Amino acid sequence: MKKTVVICDTQPVAIEGLRASLAENQELAVAGEATSLMAGMELVRNLAPTLLVVDKSFGLQPVIDWVGNAAPTAAMSRLLSGVIP
């Protein structure tokens, strides 16, 4: 069974790049994408993805708050986070 991914990024072109990269992985399937934290939260609530990819350009504190609110609503087995310089 494939793991599902929701991508939340400010730039549609970045979403497309991530989608293309993830399409090469047989174990992952992009379930949805959003360009705002609010739209991303709705996807997380509706789709309960396994993995959530969030753009750091939303700002560190808003993303921390958002993930804190998103994680309990999702059936995510793990929450992975990282900051890429």
pLDDT at 74: 47
Q: How many beta carbons lie within 10 A of that of residue 5, not counting itself?
A: 21
For residue 64, give the amino acid letter. I
- Per-residue pLDDT tens for 52-84? 888 888 888 888 787 777 655 544 444 444 444
One DSSP character per residue, 23-52 reads HT-TTEEEEEEESSHHHHHHHHHHH--SEE
Give the phi and the psi of residue 14 in degrees, each rounded to 5: -65, -40
**pLDDT tens for residues 7-51?**
999 999 999 999 999 999 999 999 999 999 889 889 988 988 888
37-54 per-residue burial string, b: 16 or more CB within 10 A, e: under 16: beebbebbeebebbbbbb
